[in-house]
Amino acid sequence: MSSDPRLQWLADSAAERLAAGLHREPRPQPKLSSRSMLDLASNDYLGLSRDERVIEAAAEAAREWGTGSTGSRLVTGTTELHLRLEAALAELVGAPSALVFSSGYLANLGVITALAGPDCLVVSDRGNHASLVDGCRLAKSDVVITPHGDQAAAERALQARREPRALVVIDAINSADGDLLALNEWHQLARRNGALLIVDDAHGVGVRGDGRGSVFEAGIAAEPDVVTTVTLSKSLAAQGGAVLAAGAVIEHLIDTARPFIFDTGLNPPAVGAALAAVQIITAEPELAKTVLQRAAELAATAGVPVTDGAVVPVIIGAAAEAFALAEALRARGIQAGCFRPPSVPVGTARLRLTANARLSAGDIERFGVALADARSDLDRADLDRADQARRRR
């Protein structure tokens, strides 16, 4: 850390995070050919990032279009491949049209900021992903944050508004808890109050509705007052994001969404990979059923309730304890996600396990043995520390 006194606050902040168990650092992954760790942390829900068809599609796109899109989508960054992906995504989800962004984060920023404004109230669910939260912060609108899944609170906010327009913003499946909101009811709530419903289905596409997503499964993807956002980096095994909506919404985004207008377009290899993944999901709907079954098996093995998607939370409580358990699993060859504040509320730090369609019965059993051993070792360590503390007294 620099000795510059103007940066002392950074050292103080880092020390506070370390003491609270909130220090983070990137860890490089090994090459695919040398990986031995059982992956229960990634969002590659269908295991397609290692599928030769997807890899070859990315390579072919690079050969045909180059490695980068070379400019924004409105300058040089749109290829025929982008247009094919947009058509395929719209067909998969059952929406009228689609627009691809360079990340799912930017898709959420773009759609909220372009559709909101001073004459619009935004009602945002407290469980929403950070990208939705940041979109609301940039929206130049009054924003009401309602308790997670609380339709009554959302309706009260809508009925009390003075603005002529409103947006209701929700995650279909919560990224940390794995619960699916009742999308039909949320749509009815928004419609009777004259609001647009924006649904982030990042964790639903590839998993729910035979892979076509939670919004498709609810039967509302084609409705003119529903806007769906998705990421290409989870079940679609690539990078990027998309907004799926009525043609008028997409036209408005092209003209006004700053993350679309000013950002470099998604690179062709990612577009090619995502397009191949969409084709696989369409042709092999059993993949979605498999990942849901594996998630249920993971939950049973961990002794926690079954969720509505591929995410299986094992709530520990304290951040340091959750991190210690994740590290103990890692030492046993299991890579488990560790979600700590601010990703989750204080006191709810957790293992965030994710299922994927490539998991076998042997993998699930291996995880169960490792989890039992890790918990046992940590319990013994706690007892040893307590005994040492008593002796010191």
pLDDT tens digits, 241-259: 999 999 999 999 999 999 9
pLDDT at 33: 58
CATH 3.90.1150.10 domain locations along the chain: 285-392
Spell out the residues 6+ positions from residue 334 whose beta carbon is closer than 8 angstroms to its own: 37, 38, 40, 366, 367, 370, 371
- The pLDDT of residue 379 is 78
Above pLDDT 70, what percent of the chain?
Answer: 95
Retrieve residue 8's tokens: 């002392």
Query: Residue 174 has what DSSP assignment?
Result: -
In the predicted model, what is the mean pLDDT of the chain?
94
* Type of residue found at 120: C
Does residue 389 carry a pLDDT above 60?
A: no
Query: pLDDT by residue (tens digit) across 201-224?
Result: 999 999 999 999 999 999 999 999
Maximal CA-CA distance, the chain: 73
In this predicted structure, the answer to whether residue 34 has a pLDDT above a threshold of 80 is: no
| Cα(374)–Cα(86) distance, integer angstroms | 45
Distance (Å, whole) CA 284 – CA 279: 9
Could you tell me which of 203, 224, 228 has the C-alpha nearest to residue 93?
228
Give 32's pLDDT tier (boundaries 50, 70, 90): low
Task: Report the pLDDT averaged over residues 175-181.
Answer: 96
Contact assessment for residue 295 and residue 145, using Cβ atoms and an 8 Å cutoff: no
- Structure confidence by residue, pLDDT tens digits, 154-165: 999 999 999 999
Alpha-helix residue ranges (DSSP H) falling in 168-245? 183-192, 214-218
d(CA 229, CA 272) in angstroms, rounded, equals 19
H or E segment to which residue 123 belongs? strand 120-125
Sole residue written with tokens 């989800």 = 93
Give the per-residue pLDDT at 391: 52
Choice between 29 and 315, residue whose per-residue pLDDT is larger = 315
The whole-model pTM stands at 0.90
Query: Is pLDDT at 390 greater than 60 in this prediction?
Result: no
Q: Is CATH 3.40.640.10 the right assignment for the domain spanning 50-283?
A: yes
- Over range 29-44, report the average pLDDT: 82
Report CA Rg, the chain: 22
Nearest Cα to 120, choosing from 15, 190, 57, 64? Answer: 190
Stretch 321-344: mean pLDDT, rounded? 94
- Give the pLDDT confidence of 352-377 residue by residue, as tens digits: 999 999 999 999 999 999 999 999 98
Band (3; pLDDT cuts 50, 70, 90): confident
Could you tell me which residue, 377 or 134, shows the higher pLDDT?
Answer: 134
- CB atoms closer than 10 angstroms to residue 364: 18
The pLDDT confidence band at residue 4, using thresholds 50, 70 and 90, is confident
Q: So what's the pLDDT on residue 384?
A: 54
Burial group, residue 84, by CB count within 10 angstroms (0-12, 13-18, 19+): middle
The predicted pLDDT at position 392 comes to 58
Q: Is the pLDDT of residue 264 over 80?
A: yes
> Which of 55-69, 140-154, 336-350 bottoms out in mean pLDDT, i.e. has the lowest?
336-350
The token pair that represents 281 in the structure block: 């999901």
**Is the model more confident about 393 or about 348?**
348
Assess whether pLDDT exceeds 90 at residue 56. Answer: yes
Give me the pLDDT at residue 23, please: 85
Q: CATH code for 285-392?
A: 3.90.1150.10
User: What percent of the chain is modeled with pLDDT above 90?
Assistant: 86
Res. 1: pLDDT tops 90: no
